[in-house]
Amino acid sequence: MAKKNRGGHAGGHGWFVTFADLMALLVAFFVMLVAYSTQDQAKLQTVAGSMRDAFGVQDKVRYSGIIEVLGLPTRPKLKNAAHIDPSEASATPSPDEHDRQRTYGARFKEDRKFALASASLRQALQEMPEMTEISKHIMMEETKQGLNIEIVDQDGRSMFPDGLKEPYERTRKIIRKIAPALKAMPYRISIVGHTASSNIPSKPGYGPWELSADRANAVREILAAEGVPNNNFLMVAGKADNDPLFPDNPSMSPNRRVTITLMREEPPIPADLTP
């Protein structure tokens, strides 16, 4: 009488087949690691082109990063958007691809330095446990031009007295807190004042343009008093209500702000510097 086969694989043990499959996968994995241990630009372009053909490529817009804080409304969209060049993910690059490859390393190094500078500013603001409420008046947004540090008003809590250029003491504390980080960086600084739209008539001879410019210069004076070199200041200006943070609601209080921008460039060499 024939016996029935109860379990197991005919011709061998079941665990051996599974073990062999596992070893094959591990070998393939390590072969892939060795293949990518040294980057070959032509191979990477070929892989990128294959991925593009398989999944497509984003050719619309890519938004910059922004940090929104509690107590401030979230903008429906960012003001700064950059288009993606499809040739950067192509297996058939354009004729000037080699020139871009030569400058890629330098650009990557500069972007990394700027990212570290941005992180040090964020760290300076986070080390303010005694000023938690005041720190909510800060918004940070990274753009093509640099890192924007927005000192904004909130409903019922302004950073400047109404109609005056000199900031409150709490505003001075925030500016003094970030001054050491700005002083240690080799980047130039742009300071721009903004106001919100208002139906209240301004003082004769002193309107939103003058007020926004004076507030920006007051911030510059505080930073300079804290040791930020004068050569680091690229521009101090006022834009009145022509560049609202929330274009859909130009009268919103956060539109009243001073923007300190850490520019993506180094300051000029001083004229009196001798090698």
* Residue 9, φ and ψ in degrees, nearest 5: -105, 140
> For strand 146-152 and strand 233-238, is the pairing parallel, antiparallel, or unpaired?
unpaired
Percent of the chain with pLDDT over 90: 21
pLDDT of residue 243 exceeding 70? yes
State the chain's mean pLDDT as an integer: 75
Map tokens 């969209």 to a residue. 77
**251 CB contacts (<8 Å, ≥6 apart)?**
196, 197, 198
pLDDT on residue 92: 53
SS3 152: strand
pLDDT of residue 173 exceeding 50? yes
**259 CB contacts (<8 Å, ≥6 apart)?**
148, 149, 150, 151, 190, 191, 192, 193, 194
**pLDDT interval class at 117 (50, 70, 90):** confident
pLDDT on residue 68: 46
pLDDT of residue 134 exceeding 90? no
The arithmetic mean of pLDDT across residues 131-145, rounded, is 74
pLDDT of residue 218 exceeding 50? yes
pLDDT on residue 208: 92
Query: Alpha-carbon distance 65 to 80, whole Å?
Result: 9
pLDDT on residue 86: 54
Which tens digit of pLDDT belongs to each residue from 190-210? 999 999 888 777 778 889 999
**pLDDT interval class at 264 (50, 70, 90):** confident
Whole-number Cα distances in Å, 201 to 66, 68, 206, 208: 34, 32, 10, 10
For the whole model, what pTM was predicted? 0.61
Query: Alpha-carbon distance 229 to 262, whole Å?
Result: 14
**pLDDT interval class at 174 (50, 70, 90):** confident
pLDDT of residue 105 exceeding 60? no
157 vs 235 pLDDT, higher one: 235
CB count, 10 Å around CB of 211?
A: 21
The arithmetic mean of pLDDT across residues 108-128, rounded, is 71
Percentages (nearest 5) of helix, strand, coil residues in the chain: 45, 15, 40
Q: Domain 62-84+120-263: give its CATH code.
A: 3.30.1330.60
pLDDT of residue 77 exceeding 60? no
Which tens digit of pLDDT belongs to each residue from 28-70? 888 888 776 766 666 666 767 676 666 665 554 433 344 444 5
Helix axes of 169-183 and 97-126: crossing angle, nearest 10 degrees? 140
DSSP state of 12: B
pLDDT of residue 168 exceeding 50? yes
The arithmetic mean of pLDDT across residues 216-239, rounded, is 95
**pLDDT interval class at 245 (50, 70, 90):** confident
CA nearest 206: which of 243, 232, 158, 238?
A: 238
pLDDT on residue 39: 66
263 vs 91 pLDDT, higher one: 263
CA angle 69, 71, 73 (to 5 degrees): 80
Domain ranges of the chain: 62-84+120-263
